[in-house]
Amino acid sequence: MKGILITLLVGFSINCTGLLACDMSGETGIAEENNLWIGPDQKTASTIDQATFNTIIDDVSKFYGPVISNLGGQLKVNRLWSNGTVNAYAQRRGRYYEVSMFGGLARHDQATPDAFALVLCHELGHHLGGIPQKSAISWASSEGQSDYFGTLKCLRMYMEGHDNIKIVSRMKINAKVKTLCDKQFTDKNDAAICMRSSMAGKALASVLAAISRKNFPNFNSPDRNVVKKHDDKHPHPQCRLDTYFAGAVCDADKDMDVSDSDINEGVCSRSWGDTEGVRPKCWFKP
């Protein structure tokens, strides 16, 4: 999702230099390359208005701005509400850790506020998600790893201060999700965050499935494909849902950082004997 050179219909552009990792095709967005455009005047089923768009960005940024500052960088989120692009991007520009968030994606019919927060978390995951990283962009965590970071660390930070038990009581939670979240977390608020994050993953994976015109994912039909090496490209929507779900149910400490050198640090890992919350083999090679 990072390092892109894309000139948009409304004239917005991200300019790349030789120092940046740029993808001329735009395939490094959270979604595959697409020509969808959902302008601010179009009617959709999304409940995300401009105020919600900005509040979510504010709330996630207040946690990760200081983290990036401690790394010697500065977080810059480009808030492009009026832009109808149905995607999101991350880019490293000198000391700036950039993320571009578009109103078009927020207005997609399948998008929810929690799914939109997960989009931002995914983009931050490219900057902060650790290994495995993209083979062609040394600073950028792979798509699957960024998905995993999104629910494993970032959404937990974002949701921690919310009344998650009350929020979840108003949601329709998949039975498998409820059972596993209750099993993994004895604290009721932590279990509620697990459920809420899992459903955010379902909504986002459904957005991505709609964009790519693939089958909608389901908690009860995990992707059975097994890769021979880490796949740093976009996994299929079902694989992405499996990854969001794994991050949500992993009981690793949210405050324990992932690593750029140790693939098992700060995560649930088969190497530790974990059976739940591990990265799925549809993109991750243990």
What average pLDDT does range 14-37 have in this prediction?
58
- Would residue 41 count as lying in a domain? yes
- Would residue 1 count as lying in a domain? no
| Residue 254's pLDDT band (cuts 50, 70, 90) | very high
- Would residue 285 count as lying in a domain? no
Rounded percentage of the chain residues whose pLDDT exceeds 90: 88
For tokens 């794994």, the residue is 246
Instruction: Give the span between the Cα atoms of 35 and 248, in whole angstroms.
Output: 31
For 167-214, write each residue's pLDDT tens digit. 999 999 999 999 999 999 999 999 999 999 999 999 999 999 999 999
- Would residue 63 count as lying in a domain? yes
Cβ pair 154, 121 in contact under 8 A: yes
Cβ contacts of residue 19 below 8 Å, gap of 6+?
94
Cβ contacts of residue 92 below 8 Å, gap of 6+?
2, 3, 20, 21, 98, 127, 139, 140
- Find, among 72, 111, 67, the residue nearest to 88 by Cα: 111
Answer yes or no: pTM beyond 0.85: yes
More confident: 6 or 139: 139
Q: 110 by DSSP, 3-state: which?
A: coil
- Would residue 111 count as lying in a domain? yes
User: Can you say how many angstroms the Cα of residue 94 is from the centroid of all Cα atoms in its chain?
Assistant: 23
> Domain containing 202: what range?
6-272
pLDDT, position 28: 63
Instruction: Give the span between the Cα atoms of 279 and 286, in whole angstroms.
Output: 8
Vertex 180: Cα angle to 176 and 183 (nearest 5): 145
- Would residue 278 count as lying in a domain? no
pLDDT higher than 70, residue 159: yes
- Would residue 91 count as lying in a domain? yes
| Residue 22's pLDDT band (cuts 50, 70, 90) | very low
Cross-strand partners of 74: 96
pLDDT, position 83: 97
Vertex 71: Cα angle to 65 and 72 (nearest 5): 90
Tokens representing 233 are 């490209």
Instruction: Give the span between the Cα atoms of 33 and 26, in whole angstroms.
Output: 6
| Domains held by the chain: number | 1
Instruction: Give the span between the Cα atoms of 44 and 110, in whole angstroms.
Output: 9
For 48-89, write each residue's pLDDT tens digit. 999 999 999 999 999 999 999 999 999 999 999 999 999 999
For 264-282, write each residue's pLDDT tens digit. 999 999 999 999 999 999 9
Rounded percentage of the chain residues whose pLDDT exceeds 70: 90
Q: How confident is the prediction for the chain on average, in pLDDT?
A: 91
Q: 39 by DSSP, 3-state: which?
A: coil
- Would residue 117 count as lying in a domain? yes
Instruction: Give the span between the Cα atoms of 2 and 139, in whole angstroms.
Output: 9
